[in-house]
Structure 1
Amino acid sequence: MQFTLDDLKRILLESAGADESVDLDGDILDLTFDNLGYESLALLETGSRIEREYGITLDESALADAATPRALRDVVNAQLAATAA
């Protein structure tokens, strides 16, 4: 199972909505969550939803260090791989 950018965008929208000035359909992989309008509370909620939906546990420091969608996607995929192994 892979966690994709589309999965992340869906969960971000479900958990925190979207800043009207940000186009999540654009090239957002390397933009910071701050630039996308998501603060730490929104990311904590997003992390919780990912954990529930995918049956994994995300390390809080890894989640906090994931400043971009690419970094968060990679953290989730690494945890999914470790859980499957």
Structure 2
Amino acid sequence: MQTMETEIRERLTRALAPTRLEVVNESALHAGHAGDDGTGESHFAVEIESAALAGQSRVARQRAVYAALGDLMQRIHALRIKAEG
């Protein structure tokens, strides 16, 4: 079974063909906080650069990331996004 971090990376790569992609599992920083489900896979940070995001507003870039992740967003409590085109 894949980790959530790996699945996030694969889905963003397939959908947005990034030139730079960093996915960081920040769940340990939030242990015991709201949204910590005990799996160690609830809080993530994504930094992505992709030509597919060029010319889009910040909100549109974030929506593109959410769309690429699809149903994974139901299992992620928090996702910090820095997206550039």
TM-score by length of 1: 0.39
Structure number having the greater strand percentage: 2
TM-score by length of 2: 0.39
Structure number having the greater helix percentage: 1
Q: Which structure carries more relative contact order (alpha carbon 8 Å, separation 6+)?
A: 1
